[in-house]
Structure 1
Amino acid sequence: MTTASKPRSAYEKWQDGIDKAAGNAEWDIYDCEIRMAINEFDRHLSGTAGYFRLDWQLVKAMIWVETGAVSKKWRSNPMQIGNPGDPGLTSFLTGNEGGSLILPPVWQGRLTVGTASSFVSHNIRAGIGYLLMRMANFAIKNVPDTDTRTYEVTVKVGDNLDKIARTQGTTIESLRQLNPGAHMLRPGQVLKFRKAAMRKVIVGWKFITPSSVATYYNVGDSMYAKKLDYALSIIRKGKAAVCTQ
């Protein structure tokens, strides 16, 4: 009597598909698009605190996990962002959560819900942008205006720092920096100010690893980090595509 073999798990079957992807040109067709997109984000975000270059092969592994060349979505929506009922794309494009700080200026207005769900180049940038938005640490801070001139305003009856800041296009923080002794205002007092505003800014970044991608990008797949690790190990062994600049 022979012992029946143990049925293969869903994860093992998925691994079989990834193993077959190695060396299959169809699974590598987005290499240059991914690298081009990451270069755009890198140039845009390189000046933010603590930013480090995104690993393009990790993004490729995300695409392999999200869809893969055998999926119907491979030719339109490989990163799966923008699917019906998925709030990720909307949250990124509205800018309420900081997406407008992440998306390179050249894509502002070009990348939409419609295009991100239909065109691969847009979908890849939407996925990368959403990932970076989730990995960024934001804070509301005093941001000086491009107008660096120092102005003066005379305090009137009923004025306070908040009222003066709002009417003069500056912030309480900026007023206090230029007028350290202005704890109690009096009519006739002259205050210095510079144009400024309180805005959301990027103050740092989380480490981007398969585990953190699974936490902040993916929802619902408990095996996501494990799959990313496996896909990435296969991709690392392959040859990188030669891309023209």
Structure 2
Amino acid sequence: MQFSSGKKLIIACKVAAHTLTEGMVMAMQAPTRTGFERWQDGVSKAVSDAKWNSWDCEIQMAVHEYNRHLCGTSGYVPLDWQLIKPMLWVETGAHDPQWNAKPMRIGVAGDPGLASLLSGNEGGDLIVPPAWIGRLTMASVRTIPAYNIRAGIGYLLMRMAHFKYRSVLRADPKVYEIAVTLGNSLDKMAKAQGTTIDTLKELNPTATVLRPGQVLMYRKASVQKAITSWRPFSAALIAERYNGGGDLNYARKLDYALSMVRKGKVALCAR
């Protein structure tokens, strides 16, 4: 059977319309993938990509330095370097331009974290290992990846620590004596002798009322900020304390990235 050119055109249009309709139905039926699911796809492929392991040795070295420095603080549990690696994957990732400059993104424009760490006002001076005090600067952290990693870990630890001002004895073990004079108070005596009220009270528990001529013992001490305890490390707390709520999926991403890290190969690092 042969069709005229007009009939052929009508049939072709009907076929095209049917094909278009089927395509639209399939598109409508296909579920829309969320941003988190698309991110998951990318991270799932990272396990077999060697570029995503490029900072493993630097992370291990940095975490070891912090663990050695903080191991004597109250309640400190050694940090697992494999918890830091997924943070780099969540913050940047091997295909992000920041991967080779600021892999933990601390110090990027608008981020207050680096200034908080370096100021010392929030306890950063107690967190950062002595060898890195002065080496971590605004300029170095923003340009040297190894420094950025250490600053990021330091900021995380600073935000996970509990601090408190308390009386700290100085290295001098000698016990001194001082006689109370008229008008003296524990506060005045502590300031004059380079000690603290708490130290005076501890060494003189019966001196509840001061009398001229009374002799008190004291040791050299000062009031200092100290680390008293630590928050538990969890994806939710890291999202809150490090990311600050900027990414609502941060905790989910961190948990997923950690599961991928656990499955992947670890870079061989020189000891």
Shorter chain as normaliser: what TM range?
over 0.9
Deviation at 1:24, TM superposition (A): 0.7
Say which structure is richer in helix.
Answer: 2
What residue is the counterpart of 1:102 in the other structure?
A: 127
Out of 211, 226, 241, which is 1:216 matched to?
241
Deviation at 1:143, TM superposition (A): 0.7
What residue is the counterpart of 1:26 in the other structure?
A: 51
Identity of paired residues, percent?
A: 54
Farther off after superposition, 124-133 or 232-241? 232-241
Alpha-carbon distance between aligned partners in 2 of 1:135 and 1:86, rounded to the nearest angstrom: 18
What residue is the counterpart of 1:226 in the other structure?
A: 252
Alpha-carbon distance between aligned partners in 2 of 1:240 and 1:53, rounded to the nearest angstrom: 19
Classify the secondary structure of the residue corresponding to 2:267.
coil
Deviation at 1:227, TM superposition (A): 0.3
Classify the secondary structure of the residue corresponding to 2:72.
coil
Alpha-carbon distance between aligned partners in 2 of 1:21 and 1:238, rounded to the nearest angstrom: 9
What residue is the counterpart of 1:16 in the other structure?
A: 41
What residue is the counterpart of 2:26 in the other structure?
A: 3
Classify the secondary structure of the residue corresponding to 1:191.
strand
Out of 158, 177, 190, which is 2:202 matched to?
177
Alignment root-mean-square deviation, CA? 1.0
Contact 2:47–2:264 under 8 Å retained in 1: yes
Aligned length: 245
> CA offsets, 1:152-189, max 9 Å, x none?
11112221000000110101111011111211212222
Provide structure 1 residue ranges, at least 5 long, that are not aligned to the other structure: none
Contact 2:47–2:265 under 8 Å retained in 1: no
Alpha-carbon distance between aligned partners in 2 of 1:242 and 1:212, rounded to the nearest angstrom: 30
Classify the secondary structure of the residue corresponding to 1:197.
strand
Alpha-carbon distance between aligned partners in 2 of 1:139 and 1:191, rounded to the nearest angstrom: 27
Which runs of structure 1 show a deviation greater than 3 angstroms over 4 or more consecutive aligned residues? none
**For residue 156 of structure 1, what is the amino acid of its counterpart?**
T
Provide the TM-score with structure 2 as the length reference.
Answer: 0.88
What residue is the counterpart of 2:221 in the other structure?
A: 196
What residue is the counterpart of 1:237 in the other structure?
A: 263
Provide structure 2 residue ranges, at least 5 long, that are not aligned to the other structure: 1-21
What residue is the counterpart of 1:72 in the other structure?
A: 97
Out of 161, 178, 181, which is 1:153 matched to?
178
What residue is the counterpart of 2:62 in the other structure?
A: 37
Question: Which protein is bigger by CA-based radius of gyration?
Answer: 2
Farther off after superposition, 121-130 or 151-160? 151-160
Deviation at 1:37, TM superposition (A): 0.1
Farther off after superposition, 25-34 or 183-192? 183-192
> CA offsets, 1:60-96, max 9 Å, x none?
0000000001111110100000112211111111111
